[in-house]
Amino acid sequence: MLNEELKIRITEMLASASFDEAGEWLNISITPADWADFAHRLRDTAGLEFNFLFCVTCVDWKTHLGMVYHLTSTIHRHNIVVKAKLDRENPEIETVSNIWRTAEFHEREVYDLFGVKFIDHPDLRRLFLTDDWKGWPLRKDYEDPVNMIKL
C-alpha cells in the first residue's frame, strides 16, 4: 500500500493522528493515550496488517522525550513510523509487548537508557546496565563526573 492510501486508512482509524511525509516512510504522530488501541488496530486491520515491529527507540529532545516505533507488514511490504511525545518528568506509555513480542526487550532497552515507563510491561528491568545503576545515560542531561568531562 502506498503512503497516500495508508494515510487515508489511518485517518479513518484515528482522526487525531497527524502526518509527516517528508521521508521515505509515512510518519504518524499520535498522543500516548491513543497508542495501545491504535497499535492493536494497526496489526489486526485487514489490508494494513503491520505484523512486525522492527525498531523501537527514543529521542531526548530536551523539552520532551519522543518514542519512535517502526512498523512493517511482511504480507503487504509497507512501512510506517509512529511517534509519540512523552512528558520528560514522568514519561509513561502503554507497552506493546503483548501485541509484538519483540517489544519486550526493545522496551526494556529504552527503559534502561531513557527511563521511559511502559505501563503493563511484564518484566520492566534494566537490560544492559547493572541493576543498581542510577540515572538514564542516554538522556542529554545525564552526568557522570567520574567517566565524563563537561564540554
User: Min. distance of Cβ 64 from another protein in angstroms?
Assistant: 23
B/e letters for 67-91, b = 16+ CB within 10 Å, e = fewer, are bebbbbbeeeebbbbbebbbebeeb
Q: Judging by DSSP bridges, how do beta strands 52-60 and 65-72 pair with one another?
A: antiparallel
Question: Are the beta carbons of 17 and 6 closer than 8 angstroms?
Answer: no
Strands (E), the chain: 18-20, 26-30, 52-60, 65-72, 79-86, 92-94, 117-119
x/- binding map, residues 107-136, to another protein, per CB under 8 A? ---------------------x--------
105 near another protein (CB under 8 A):
no
32 near another protein (CB under 8 A):
no
User: Min. distance of Cβ 145 from another protein in angstroms?
Assistant: 11
Instruction: With CA atoms as reference, report the closest residue to 87 among 115, 113, 120, 107.
Output: 115
When binding is defined by CB under 8 A, the residue of 2, 22, 46, 151 that contacts another protein is: 151
Q: How far is 148 from 137, CA to CA, in rounded Å?
A: 11
Pick the closer one to another protein by CB: 60 or 94: 60
When binding is defined by CB under 8 A, the residue of 7, 27, 137, 139 that contacts another protein is: 137
Pick the closer one to another protein by CB: 77 or 134: 134
When binding is defined by CB under 8 A, the residue of 19, 25, 52, 142 that contacts another protein is: 142
Q: Judging by DSSP bridges, how do beta strands 26-30 and 52-60 pair with one another?
A: unpaired
The residues that touch another protein, with contacts defined as CB under 8 A, are 128, 137, 142, 144, 147-149, 151
